[in-house]
Amino acid sequence: MINNVPGKDPTLIVGGGPAGVSCAWKLATFSIPCILIDKASFPRDKVCGGALSERAAEILITSGILSNNELEDLTLKEHRTLSLWNRDELLRTYISQDAPVRIISRRKFDSVLLDKAASAGAFIVTGDTVVSVDSSSVTTSSGKNYPCSNLVGADGCNSLVRRFIAGKRSKGTGMGLEYLIPLTDLNEIPEGLQIHFGYIPYGYIWVFPDSEKVNIGAGAVGSPASPSNITEALNGFLEARGISCDKYQLQGAPIPSRELDRNLGKGNIYLAGDAAGLVDHVSGEGIGHAVQSGFLVADCILSGGNRGTVLNKKDCCISIVRQSMFYRHLLFSPITHGTAIMGLRDNEEFARGYWNIISGKESYNEMFRRLLT
Ligand SMILES: Cc1cc2nc3c(=O)[nH]c(=O)nc-3n(C[C@H](O)[C@H](O)[C@H](O)COP(=O)(O)OP(=O)(O)OC[C@H]3O[C@@H](n4cnc5c(N)ncnc54)[C@H](O)[C@@H]3O)c2cc1C
């Protein structure tokens, strides 16, 4: 039930990634006037491994923003096999009997979701950058001024809206870097997903193949490693496998690692996705959390700004990211890292637990409770 009567000004959403479009789609579905502004012209690329967890797929489908068939069409490859490595040692290959982790193209995925929001009735403006915001309006680089009743910052890791609320630039960000390599350039095509520990503190190297290419990247959240350390580790990894980095373009993007905004903003200003710091600190997953937080922000607006009731859900993205900020130390801290690596190697249940985390099948608390019993 919609409790509030929105003011005559629309809700203004900055950013048309998964967080912004989910919010716009839901508001428009409930006939709440909204305008979404993105600086990019779509389709646009986004540096991302493109791994979509089971939890993310479920949120997309149960919300109704995508049908099963539409998600199938967007899926480049399904994976149920995960190999875990510690530098050159293969720790374990885990094969899941459950739903797959999907690889999607962010160019296509984001564009399809943006069309969904437009079809639902959201007014979409692309190719115009929001350059200044306050609680009642935003101004864009084309000189337009949009008055708004609610403002939603879904503008990614370097969020302008978050900076407006915090009054300063955020302190720390993580970093993700990747190469896209055609399968035809490889001597051996990787089977399933690979995660390689031991190269970057508080991070890992990933190998995510789809039907045409493999995304090989490295990332870390809240790590002492600098972008140049991560690049060096990634290039060394590729060269050791006979892949010449010079042939491919290195792409990078920041990953939020600052304090999570558990209230998703304040007053009539909301934050969703990377702008709210909603990235898993162990896996780096952010797409599913962006989508879910976009819906949560829409729910807050629909409930007349009642954050308390909407955001206090135990298993929602806010709770999962909070748990990841704690449990990452068990996996990555120099004190416990060796034990965690041994666990992944020697105990099938640990590997299943890791799969359940990246697929979103279990929360961290559920997984640890299960492992302890
Ligand atoms: C290298 C790397 C690999 C990753 N791999 C994965 C993965 O495999 N799986 C996973 O789940 N997550 C992954 N992530 C995280 C994931 O990409 C993000 O968490 C997710 O994109 C967040 O969605 P969002 O909508 O919050 O922000 P974004 O997708 O960043 O969208 C923000 C939008 O805001 C727009 N914008 C920004 N500023 C302005 C402005 N001033 N005016 C107008 N528009 C603006 C941008 O153009 C953009 O379209 C990865 C991240 C990185 C960096």
User: Average pLDDT of 94-107?
Assistant: 95
pLDDT band at 188; cut points 50, 70, 90: confident
* Dist. CA 156 → ligand 1 center (Å): 5
- Between the alpha carbon of residue 258 and those of residues 171, 172, 176, the distances in Å are 7, 5, 15
Residue 112 has pLDDT above 90, yes or no: yes
CA end-to-end span of the chain: 42
- DSSP run (H or E) holding 306: none
Residue 143 lies in a domain: yes
Residue for token digits 């870097």? 177
pLDDT band at 6; cut points 50, 70, 90: very low
Number of domains observed in the structure of the chain:
1
Residue 167 lies in a domain: yes
- Tell me the three state secondary structure of residue 293: helix
What is the residue type of 89?
E
Q: What is the pLDDT of residue 47?
A: 97
Residue 1 has pLDDT above 70, yes or no: no
**Any ligand 1 atom below 6 A from CB of 256:** no
Residue 5 has pLDDT above 70, yes or no: no
* Ligand 1 pocket mutation, candidates 37, 44, 45, 46, criterion most atoms within 8 A of CB: 46
Residue for token digits 């909603």? 278
Residue 239 lies in a domain: no
* Ligand 1 pocket mutation, candidates 155, 249, 261, criterion most atoms within 8 A of CB: 155
pLDDT in tens, 241-267: 999 999 999 999 999 987 788 999 999
Q: Which two tokens stand for residue 177?
A: 């870097």
- Tell me the three state secondary structure of residue 307: helix
pLDDT band at 372; cut points 50, 70, 90: confident
Backbone angles phi, psi at 6, to 5 degrees: -65, 150
Question: Which ligand 1 atom is at minimum distance from the Cα of 159?
Answer: 38
User: Average pLDDT of 278-305?
Assistant: 95
Cβ contacts of residue 182 below 8 Å, gap of 6+?
212, 213
pLDDT band at 369; cut points 50, 70, 90: confident
**Any ligand 1 atom below 6 A from CB of 21:** no
Q: Which residues face 146 on adjacent strands?
A: 138
Residue 4 has pLDDT above 50, yes or no: no
**Any ligand 1 atom below 6 A from CB of 360:** no
Residue 26 lies in a domain: yes
pLDDT in tens, 16-38: 999 999 999 999 999 999 999 99
Of the ranges 162-176, 218-232, 294-308, 352-366, which one carries the lowest mean pLDDT score? 162-176
Residue 246 lies in a domain: no
Most confident of 4-13, 110-119, 220-229, 259-268: 110-119
* Dist. CA 89 → ligand 1 center (Å): 32
Residue 113 lies in a domain: yes
Residue 269 lies in a domain: yes
Residue 169 has pLDDT above 80, yes or no: no
What mean pLDDT is reported for the chain? 93
Query: Mapped to the 3 state alphabet, what secondary structure does 134-185 carry?
Result: ECCEEEECCCCEEECCEEEECCCCCCHHHHHHHCCCCCCEEEEEEEEEEHHH
The enclosing domain of 72 has a CATH number of 3.50.50.60
pLDDT higher at 71 or 226:
71
Cα–Cα distance, 340 to 368 (Å, whole number):
12
Residue 261 lies in a domain: yes
pLDDT in tens, 317-330: 999 999 999 999 98
Structural domain boundaries, residue 289: 11-79+102-171+257-322
**Any ligand 1 atom below 6 A from CB of 285:** yes
Question: Which ligand 1 atom is at minimum distance from the Cα of 157?
Answer: 30
